[in-house]
Amino acid sequence: MLELVSAIVIIVLCLVAFAVIHSVTASLPFKRMVVKALGSRVETFYLPVYSLIAVVTILPIVYLLYVNPGRILYIVSSPWRWVMVAGQLLASLAAPMAFRDSPQRFKLHLQLSKPETPGSEPLNIRGIFRWIRDPFLFSGLVIIWLTPFMTVNLLIVYIITSIYFYIGSVHVEKRLVSQFGDEYLEYQKRVHRFIPFIKGHY
């Protein structure tokens, strides 16, 4: 029992460390500091480095779950297992579609811009963003909760991760309101944050 509690505590601490690092490097103050220190050339490597840091900091959690998954809660049998996996595969397409359909959201100099200032760009809603405001939140929640098996430690990780995903989405939306102004506020009313094809809300 003590060993199980210790494993859970370590996993939670690793999750907290990941969340702190990920949140700090995603924040506008940190990005402004990096741009001020390194200049405009940071644009080309910030997103790849940010993504690499996210992967590296999540690897210890994956390893801990692998060596100590905890008690099995359920395993979904076929054919429903493959239905869930198919759902995960479909949801995994949301992120690359988001990068394709709205590249201006991910450019560092545009994230730091204000509406109607030199160099700013319009919201330009297209593709997957016509159906859902946060494809990353949607795909993340679908992928983790359609896992066709569940253990105690995995459930704890998924609950904490889901909460963090939602908090992160709120943070991103505040940045997008800062970047696009009233245009984004109107968009929020039309399109839901993470449930496709229904009317939005804040």
Is pLDDT above 80 for 110? Answer: no
Is pLDDT above 70 for 4? Answer: no
Residues 26-76: tens digit of each pLDDT: 888 888 888 888 887 787 888 888 888 888 888 888 888 888 888 899 999
Average pLDDT over every residue of 123-133: 87
Evaluate whether residue 93 is within a structural domain: yes
State the pLDDT at residue 28.
80
* Structural domain for 32, as ranges: 2-190
Is pLDDT above 60 for 112? Answer: yes
State the pLDDT at residue 22.
81
Measured CA to CA in angstroms, residue 169 lies from 6, 49, 76, 188 at distances of: 30, 20, 30, 13
Evaluate whether residue 160 is within a structural domain: yes
**Which residue did the predictor score with more confidence, 53 or 92?**
92
Evaluate whether residue 137 is within a structural domain: yes
Q: How far apart are CA 192 and CA 114, in angstroms?
A: 24
Evaluate whether residue 195 is within a structural domain: no
State the pLDDT at residue 84.
96
Evaluate whether residue 138 is within a structural domain: yes
Average pLDDT over every residue of 84-109: 85
State the pLDDT at residue 118.
57
State the pLDDT at residue 2.
47
The count of domains in the chain is: 1
Supply the pTM of this predicted model. 0.81
State the pLDDT at residue 47.
81
Average pLDDT over every residue of 146-163: 92
- Which range has the worst mean pLDDT, 90-99, 154-163, 176-185? 176-185
Helices and strands (H and E) in the chain: how many: 9, 2
* pLDDT band (50, 70, 90) for residue 168: confident
* Burial status of residue 82 (CB atoms within 10 A of its CB: 0-12, 13-18, 19 or more): exposed
Q: Which of 133, 138, 49, 126 is nearest to 93 (CA)?
A: 138
